[in-house]
Amino acid sequence: MHIFSFSSEEELNKAGAKVVIDLLMKKPSAILGLATGQSPVGIYKQLVKAYKKGIISFQLIKTFNLDEYIGLNKEHPQSFYMFMKQRFFDHVNIPSERSYIPDGIAPDFNEECIRYDRLLNKIDLQILGIGHNGHIGFNEPGNYLSSRTHVVELTEETRIANSKYFSSLNKVPTHAITMGIGNILKAQKIVFVARGKEKAEIVFQSLFGPITTECPGSFLQLHPNLVVLLDKEAASYIDEGKIQNIETAL
């Protein structure tokens, strides 16, 4: 695991974008795993900049998003599809038929999970945030975790955290479809991003605590190629000796 911390938001975002750009330079047809939430947004902005400057093209890539709310169609302003469209897809040249997101209004959700799992090719690079409760994707803490794509009931904590995007808490969907922990860990490389003091403890527990279903992020310790990008606040529980210098490592 390589952990980096940044004093500026921009440096963090540039470092995240650089991992993606380096991959696309080597493999223009790379498969990217994408996340919603605030954590990756700055990285998407940097990627859009790089695309507009002609540094990279997304023409040949495929993308798979981690999750989608159940009950929201693609056009719903709070769907993850819309989130990705507004912040990334509309500003780059990814052919729309190669961007995959689970269907939140599928007629049969079990079938939809099977369909998504079948589509999921081996992801070259997964961008990942973490919830305050340790969820990755929407794999919520509990007694067990699912390996494959599945339907999940969102915890109250997650619904409250995400209610900032909705007009009220009762508008936040209660269920979602998410890739499983196995899907996430199969990615060749994971770029794990977290910001802010409120994430410091869960980031520490995920990276250095016991591996437990009570903290789904802790399974990231099993991944052989994990790059952790944190701001100073999110890194504040981590011993400085465990943090690497970005200049020499990336």
If one asks whether residue 134 binds ligand PGA (CB under 6 A), the answer comes out as no
Is residue 206 at the binding interface for ligand PGA, with CB under 6 A as the rule?
no
Number of residues that bind ligand PGA (CB under 6 A): 7
Q: Choose between 37 and 180: whose C-beta lies nearer to ligand PGA.
A: 37
Q: Can residue 141 be called a binding residue for ligand PGA (CB under 6 A)?
A: no
Instruction: Tell me if 130 contacts ligand PGA by CB under 6 A.
Output: yes
List CB contacts of 243: < 8 A, sequence separation 6 or more.
Answer: 3, 4, 5, 235
Residues with catalytic annotation?
67, 133, 135, 140
Of the residues 42, 102, 131, 173, which one makes contact with ligand PGA according to CB under 6 A: 131
Q: Contact between 218 and ligand PGA (CB under 6 A)? A: no
| Position of minimal CB gap to ligand PGA | 37
Q: Which residue has the tokens 């991959």?
A: 23
**Residue 34 binds to ligand PGA (criterion: CB under 6 A):** no
The residues near 11 (Cβ < 8 Å, ≥ 6 apart) are 246
Q: Is 129 in the site for ligand PGA (CB under 6 A)?
A: yes
Tokens of 102: 């689970």
List interacting residues with ligand PGA (CB under 6 A).
37-39, 129-131, 135
